[in-house]
């Protein structure tokens, strides 16, 4: 359905969108979330198939607009910090003067939830995935699901388009190839984001940034 819609509607206005998007990119305030069209063209240019495959269900969101918002956050957090509130299913990237960009997230399921303070130890575009042996065994035993020991980065990888690694743990803030799970509690502890959102966050966050995880 997504590909059919893209084939029918987008080519008709593609030239106009490209021009408008290019102008929007030069005018976009770095402190504001990117608009849907601007974000799509910035990430994929005019390669609609690549964009659709990489972002999956996010294509509709990119075309209609982003769900991110700039909001006020209480507390004395340093600009550049990340606040995660798992019960809200929200992640906040702190800017200046108590303002933050808010993103929707997916969180750990029951028994895999956690909280505390960490920091971004490294960043990776289109990360590889090496699931721990415990996860491989658990998925096989409980769900009959076979997980490979290694999966290269790419659109089919569960870690999605970007990953922010937290300290020396196995936890990450990462994208997903299952954007319909955003808003749910389904992971093994990692924080999931839509690929379009994690790409936006990735550009803003520096290695060493503090990450505060609350319930």
> In this structure, are 46 and 125 located in the same domain?
no
φ/ψ bin of 167: left (φ > 0), alpha (ψ from -120 to 50), beta (otherwise): left
- Judge if pTM exceeds 0.75: no
Are 29 and 128 in the same domain? no
Quick one: pLDDT band at residue 33, thresholds 50, 70, 90? low
Query: Which of 64, 83, 98 corresponds to the end of one domain?
Result: 64
pLDDT digits (tens, 9 = 90+) for 94-124: 998 889 999 999 999 998 899 999 999 999 9
- Torsion sign over Cα 181, 183, 187, 191: positive
Q: Work out whether the CA dihedral 61, 62, 64, 67 comes out positive or negative.
A: positive
Mean pLDDT (the chain, rounded): 80
| Residue 139, pLDDT score | 86
Of the residues 15, 46, 174, 215, only one is catalytic, namely 174
Question: Same domain, yes or no, for 104 and 168?
Answer: yes
89 shares its domain with 56: no
Residues 164, 106 share a domain:
yes
Per-residue pLDDT at 15: 45
Residue reference for tokens 């593609």: 14
CA distance 132 to 97: 40
124 in the same domain as 54:
no
Given a cut of 80, whether residue 168 has pLDDT beyond it is yes
For residue 92, which of 81, 104, 102, 106 has the smallest C-alpha distance?
102
Angle between the N-to-C axes of helices 36-44 and 2-27, in degrees from 0 to 180, rounded to the nearest 10: 100
pLDDT at residue number 97: 82
Per the structure, the complete domain to which residue 199 belongs is given by 69-214
Is 15 marked active-site? Answer: no
> One of 15, 46, 180, 190 is an active-site residue; which one?
190
**Claim to verify: residue 124 and residue 166 sit in the same structural domain:** yes
Q: Which residues contact 162 (CB under 8 A, 6 or more apart)?
A: 123, 124, 125, 126, 127, 174, 175, 195, 198, 199, 201, 202
Sign for the CA dihedral angle at 171, 43, 41, 79 comes to: positive
Q: Are residues 111 and 170 in the same domain?
A: yes
pLDDT band at 138 (very low <50, low <70, confident <90, very high): confident
Most confident of 18-32, 44-58, 139-153, 159-173: 159-173
Give yes or no: residues 93 and 176 share one domain.
yes
Residue 35 pLDDT = 47
Active site residue 174: yes
Give pLDDT, residue 44.
60
On whether both 29 and 73 belong to a single domain, the answer is no
Question: Is the per-residue pLDDT at 215 higher than 80?
Answer: yes
CATH of the domain at 112: 2.40.440.10
Give the count of domains, the chain.
2
Contact 215, 113 (CB under 8 A): yes
CA distance 83 to 209: 11
Whether residue 186 sits in one domain with residue 159: yes
- pLDDT score recorded for residue 19: 46
Residue 211 burial by CB count (10 A; 0-12/13-18/19+): exposed, middle or buried? buried
Three-class SS state of 135: helix
Phi, psi of 28 (to 5 degrees): -65, 130
- What is the rounded distance in angstroms from the CA atom of residue 155 to the CA atom of residue 56? 9
**158 & 208 share domain:** yes
147-164 per-position pLDDT tens digit: 888 899 998 899 999 999
Residues of the chain above pLDDT 90, percent? 51
pLDDT in tens, 36-93: 455 555 556 555 555 655 555 555 455 444 568 999 998 999 999 999 999 999 999 9
């Amino acid at each position: 359905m997504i590909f059919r819609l893209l084939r029918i509607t987008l080519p008709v206005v593609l030239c106009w969108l490209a021009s408008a998007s290019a102008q929007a990119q030069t005018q976009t305030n770095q402190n504001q979330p990117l608009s849907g069209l601007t974000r799509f063209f910035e990430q994929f240019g005019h390669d609609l198939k690549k964009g659709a495959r990489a972002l999956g269900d996010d294509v509709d969101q990119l075309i209609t607009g982003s769900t991110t918002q700039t909001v006020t956050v209480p507390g004395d957090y340093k600009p550049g910090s990340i606040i995660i509130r798992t019960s809200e299913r929200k992640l906040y990237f702190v800017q200046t003067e108590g303002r933050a960009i808010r993103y929707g997230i997916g969180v750990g399921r029951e028994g895999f939830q956690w909280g505390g303070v960490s920091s971004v130890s490294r960043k990776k575009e289109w990360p590889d995935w090496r699931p721990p042996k415990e996860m491989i065994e658990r998925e096989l035993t409980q769900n009959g699901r076979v997980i490979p020991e290694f999966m290269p980065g790419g659109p089919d990888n569960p870690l999605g388009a970007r990953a922010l690694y937290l300290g020396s743990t196995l936890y990450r803030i990462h994208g997903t190839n299952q954007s319909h799970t955003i808003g749910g509690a389904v992971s093994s502890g990692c924080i999931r984001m839509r690929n379009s959102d994690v790409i936006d966050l990735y550009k803003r966050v520096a290695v060493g940034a503090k990450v505060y995880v609350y319930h």
